């Protein structure tokens, strides 16, 4: 408990508000078994291995990282669609990883999700009206029966679709329209938190902007808090107030978007940012691209110490022996610079990465 | 405090949106196109499927109205009038015992319909229950059910049916039971694999995230999307069951030989092959038309039920 208050105090930069969601040492290991009948556990895929962060009311927390770093598992854990191996997720002080039955159903009203693929996230045999109206059938206390159809049409209008479309089927819509339907379904129960698992990465670039703008407008209108998971750094910067960078099941660096994008101190973040395409040819010439060698190690057998050391140009013996903690690096402690944000690196230092848009 | 904020947010949000929605919701939404309406439309657009439907409907009508259509008593023997060529009185001729072929074929449709539908219905009930359990729960339940299904799947139908009929005795019921016992495994497998792919879909995850009950997830999301594969298979397999039933009778282990049944008739006709071909040509044609009808309907159903083909 004392640890929690300390954490909250540390995040003072994000405002004096109380966090709406607190994630503490969240761990998810998927067991690897061998044998047909007698299942013997031979190891575990450490998809998420000790992640902590806070989410405040009305803010957007971006989570970025490569494919397979555990971003989507974090989303499923926050939605309690997967059971956490250990760790806690506090929603308004209540640990939702331990909830079940009616209490869990009540929490689910307040935490909803928008999915990545608009083609598989809508039931092809239900009309749009039934899809958006289903939340009301599951939680009948939210809207009285006679009111539901009107509520569904309102929701369609809110997400910028014609309310007359209630009787159409998902296959009659484009990808962007389908994603709007998915967002409307997520909004139906008036949730406080929406977990967005790569909500625009399956859409055309021109449509991405529309959906992102819609999500920003809805955030202002309904005071929503977003956990926005993506691999597109530019989009995350555009929508996020704070950004967390994940690598192989651990949080490498977390801070406000300006801190992360302009003053990254973790080598992995620096490498990621150096790969962002720069539209200005002149700025592009002057910049240094950090090209990482090798592949992401297997999460079933992650490297000792710092997870990133196998691909890091700064790695020393210390990195293999000691796990760097996610904290404000010693060199920046107490200093009033944008570099003073949490970074899990023994040798954290500012490196200017030019032109990260 | 947070509770307060939440309750304040509710009506606020509603008023913000009703204003915008008001002008749009004024006109009524267009009539609801039901799922079934759309499926029917696509089915009817398929010519072969319509032909199949006509054949199958004809079969049902003939089976139901057999006494009205038949010109003679199918059991009445007339030893003075055997092996007659088709004529005005006996449209399809008479067999070795002088029975009217046309009437026997008409009455034969009853056995075909009863055995075909009942055996596949039974197979579907068993197969759907076991397949759904296997697909939804997975793990040990899945392994046990699928290994049992494998046994029935691997067993040759005719040999298995002979064993069951030897135990139960000859008749319509043992034929139905033996066909069902050796058909459910396919239904179970189809449904299981379909459920396995559907339950990983994001819309199932979305329903779970909304807090939907297991019953709701199965009935609203998983079943409607996995049953299509089974439905078209069912139509195919009614045709197959008709053939299997005729084969059993042809081999002399189906219904008793005096019963008007297509397999029996072909069996009787094989003795005068090349002499009185009309004896086996007509019942064979009845089987072919029946099977074609069910296959065409199955094909049409498969295409009509697939939302991706729209």
What's the pLDDT at B19? 40
pLDDT band at A352 (very low <50, low <70, confident <90, very high): low
Contact residues for B152 (Cβ-Cβ < 8 A; gap 6+): B160, B181, B182, B184, B185
Task: Estimate to the nearest angstrom the gap between the alpha carbon of B218 and the chain centroid.
Answer: 22
Q: Which domains does chain B have, with CATH numbers?
A: 38-70+92-309 (1.10.3720.10)
User: The tokens of B79 are what?
Assistant: 């030893």
pLDDT top residue among A172 and B27:
A172
Chain A residue numbers with beta carbons less than 8 Å from the beta carbon of B14 are 154
How many angstroms separate the CA atoms of B96 and B79, rounded? 8
pLDDT band at B230 (very low <50, low <70, confident <90, very high): confident
Q: Averaged over A169-175, what is the pLDDT?
A: 89
How many angstroms separate the CA atoms of B19 and B226, rounded? 41
Q: Which of the residues B23, B203, B229, B306 would you substitute to probe the A interface, choosing the one with the greatest number of A C-beta atoms within 10 Å?
A: B203
pLDDT top residue among A180 and B2:
A180
What's the pLDDT at B11? 41
Chain B residues contacting A via beta carbons under 8 Å: 2, 5-6, 9-10, 13-14, 16-18, 20-21, 24-25, 27, 29-33, 35, 38, 201-203, 205-213, 216, 220-221, 224-225, 307-308, 310
What's the pLDDT at A229? 93
User: The tokens of A122 are what?
Assistant: 């809508």
Average pLDDT in chain A: 86
What's the pLDDT at B20? 40
What's the pLDDT at B27? 42
pLDDT band at B292 (very low <50, low <70, confident <90, very high): very high
Burial pattern B58-90, b for ≥16 Cβ within 10 A else e, equals ebeebbeebeeebebebeeeeeeeeebeeeeeb
Q: What are phi and psi of A103, to 5 degrees?
A: -65, -40
What's the pLDDT at B158? 86
How many angstroms separate the CA atoms of A242 and A10, rounded? 14
How many angstroms separate the CA atoms of A44 and A34, rounded? 11
Checking if the pLDDT of A2 tops 80, the result is: no
CB-CB under 8 Å, B13 with A81? no
What's the pLDDT at B32? 57
What's the pLDDT at A348? 87
pLDDT band at A275 (very low <50, low <70, confident <90, very high): confident
Q: What are phi and psi of A227, to 5 degrees?
A: -105, 115
User: The tokens of A313 are what?
Assistant: 């140009």
What's the pLDDT at A266? 92
What's the pLDDT at B224? 87
Chain B residue numbers with beta carbons less than 8 Å from the beta carbon of A161 are none
* pLDDT over 90, % of chain B: 46
Chain A residue numbers with beta carbons less than 8 Å from the beta carbon of B38 are 169
What's the pLDDT at B137? 84
CB-CB under 8 Å, B33 with A167? yes
Checking if the pLDDT of B3 tops 70, the result is: no
Checking if the pLDDT of B62 tops 60, the result is: yes
What's the pLDDT at A146? 84
Q: Packing angle between helix A175-187 and helix A205-222, nearest 10 degrees?
A: 20
Sign, CA dihedral B263-B268-B271-B273, equals negative
Q: Averaged over B259-269, what is the pLDDT?
A: 90
Q: Averaged over A128-138, what is the pLDDT?
A: 92
Checking if the pLDDT of A8 tops 70, the result is: no
Separation in Å, CA of A214 to nearest CA in chain B: 14
The question of ipTM being above 0.85 is answered as: no
Over residues B175-218, the pLDDT tens digits come to 999 999 999 999 999 999 999 999 889 999 999 999 898 889 98
A46: helix, strand or coil: strand
User: What is the interface size between A and B, counted as CB pairs within 8 Å?
Assistant: 115
pLDDT band at A3 (very low <50, low <70, confident <90, very high): very low
Chain A residue numbers with beta carbons less than 8 Å from the beta carbon of B30 are 164, 167
What's the pLDDT at A36? 67
Over residues A233-253, the pLDDT tens digits come to 889 999 999 999 999 999 999
* pLDDT over 90, % of chain A: 41
Worst-scoring range by mean pLDDT, A70-79, A207-216, B158-167, B226-235? B226-235
CB-CB under 8 Å, B27 with A125? no
Tell how strand A19-34 and strand A342-343 pair up: unpaired
pLDDT top residue among A8 and A165:
A165
What's the pLDDT at A353? 60
How many angstroms separate the CA atoms of A329 and A332, rounded? 6
Partners of A26 in the beta sheet? A51
Checking if the pLDDT of B26 tops 70, the result is: no
Question: With contact defined as beta carbons under 8 Å apart, do A280 and A354 qualify?
Answer: no
pLDDT band at B33 (very low <50, low <70, confident <90, very high): low
Contact residues for B42 (Cβ-Cβ < 8 A; gap 6+): B303, B304, B309, B310
pLDDT band at A289 (very low <50, low <70, confident <90, very high): confident
* pLDDT over 70, % of chain B: 88
Chain B residue numbers with beta carbons less than 8 Å from the beta carbon of A125 are 35, 224-225, 307
What's the pLDDT at B17? 40
Task: Estimate to the nearest angstrom the gap between the alpha carbon of B82 and the chain centroid.
Answer: 38
pLDDT band at A16 (very low <50, low <70, confident <90, very high): low
Over residues B73-102, the pLDDT tens digits come to 999 888 888 888 888 888 898 888 889 999
Over residues A25-67, the pLDDT tens digits come to 999 999 888 776 667 788 888 999 999 999 999 999 999 988 8
In this complex, which of B2, B33, B209 lies closest to A79 when CB atoms are compared?
Answer: B209
Q: Which domains does chain A have, with CATH numbers?
A: 2-9+18-31+44-267 (3.40.50.300), 268-357 (no CATH)
User: The tokens of A224 are what?
Assistant: 């929503």
């Amino acid at each position: 408990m004392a640890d929690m208050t300390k954490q909250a105090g540390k995040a003072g930069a994000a405002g004096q508000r109380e966090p709406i969601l607190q994630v503490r040492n969240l761990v998810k290991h998927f067991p690897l078994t061998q044998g047909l009948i007698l299942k013997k556990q031979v190891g575990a895929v450490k998809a998420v291995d000790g992640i902590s962060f806070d989410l405040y009311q009305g803010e957007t927390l971006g989570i970025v990282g490569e494919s397979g770093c555990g971003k989507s598992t974090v989303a499923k854990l926050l939605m309690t669609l997967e059971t956490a191996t250990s760790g806690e997720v506090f929603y308004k002080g209540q640990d939702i990883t331990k909830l079940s039955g009616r209490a869990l159903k009540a929490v689910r009203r307040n935490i909803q999700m928008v999915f990545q693929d608009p083609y598989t996230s809508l039931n092809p045999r239900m009309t749009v009206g039934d899809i958006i109206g289903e939340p009301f059938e599951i939680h009948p206390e939210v809207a009285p029966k006679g009111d539901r159809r009107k509520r569904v049409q309102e929701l369609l209008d809110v997400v910028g679709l014609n309310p007359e479309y209630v009787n159409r089927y998902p296959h009659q819509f484009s990808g962007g329209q389908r994603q709007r339907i998915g967002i409307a379904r997520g909004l139906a129960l008036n949730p406080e938190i929406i977990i967005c698992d790569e909500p625009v990465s399956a859409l055309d670039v021109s449509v991405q902007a529309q959906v992102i703008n819609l999500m920003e407008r809805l955030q202002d209108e309904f005071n929503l808090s977003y956990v926005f998971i993506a691999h597109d750094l530019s989009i995350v910067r555009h929508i996020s107030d704070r950004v967390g960078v994940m690598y192989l099941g651990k949080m490498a660096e977390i801070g406000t978007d300006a801190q992360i994008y302009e003053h990254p101190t973790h080598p992995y973040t620096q490498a990621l940012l150096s790969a962002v395409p720069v539209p200005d040819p002149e700025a592009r010439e002057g910049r240094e691209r950090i090209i990482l060698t090798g592949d992401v190690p297997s999460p079933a057998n992650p490297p000792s110490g710092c997870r990133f050391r196998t691909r890091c140009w700064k790695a020393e013996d210390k990195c293999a022996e000691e796990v760097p903690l996610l904290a404000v690096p010693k060199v920046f402690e107490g200093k009033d610079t944008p570099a003073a944000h949490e970074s899990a690196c023994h040798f954290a230092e500012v490196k200017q990465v030019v032109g990260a848009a | 405090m947070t509770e307060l904020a939440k309750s304040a947010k509710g009506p606020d949000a509603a008023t913000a949106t009703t204003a915008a929605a008001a002008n749009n919701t004024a006109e009524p939404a267009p009539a609801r196109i039901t799922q079934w309406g759309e499926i029917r439309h696509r089915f009817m657009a398929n010519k072969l499927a319509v032909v199949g439907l006509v054949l199958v409907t004809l079969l049902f009508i003939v089976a139901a109205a057999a006494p009205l259509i038949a010109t003679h008593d199918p059991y009445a023997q007339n030893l003075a009038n055997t092996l007659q060529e088709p004529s005005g009185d006996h449209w399809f001729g008479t067999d070795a015992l002088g029975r009217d072929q046309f009437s026997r074929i008409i009455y034969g449709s009853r056995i075909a319909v009863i055995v075909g539908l009942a055996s596949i219905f039974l197979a579907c009930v068993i197969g759907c229950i076991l397949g759904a359990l296997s697909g939804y729960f997975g793990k040990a339940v899945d392994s046990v059910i699928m290994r049992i299904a494998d046994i029935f799947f691997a067993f040759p139908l005719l040999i298995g049916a002979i064993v069951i009929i030897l135990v139960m005795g000859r008749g319509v019921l043992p034929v139905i039971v033996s066909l069902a016992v050796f058909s459910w495994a396919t239904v179970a497998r189809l449904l299981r694999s379909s459920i396995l792919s559907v339950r990983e879909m994001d819309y199932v995850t979305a329903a779970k995230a909304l807090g939907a009950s297991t019953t709701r997830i199965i009935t609203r999301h998983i079943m409607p999307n996995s049953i299509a594969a089974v439905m078209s298979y069912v139509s195919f397999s009614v045709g197959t069951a008709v053939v299997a039933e005729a084969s059993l009778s042809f081999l002399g282990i189906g219904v008793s030989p005096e019963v008007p049944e297509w397999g029996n008739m072909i069996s009787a006709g094989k003795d005068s092959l090349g002499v009185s071909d009309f004896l086996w040509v007509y019942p064979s044609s009845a089987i072919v038309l029946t099977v074609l009808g069910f296959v065409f309907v199955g094909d049409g159903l498969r295409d009509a039920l697939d939302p991706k083909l729209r």
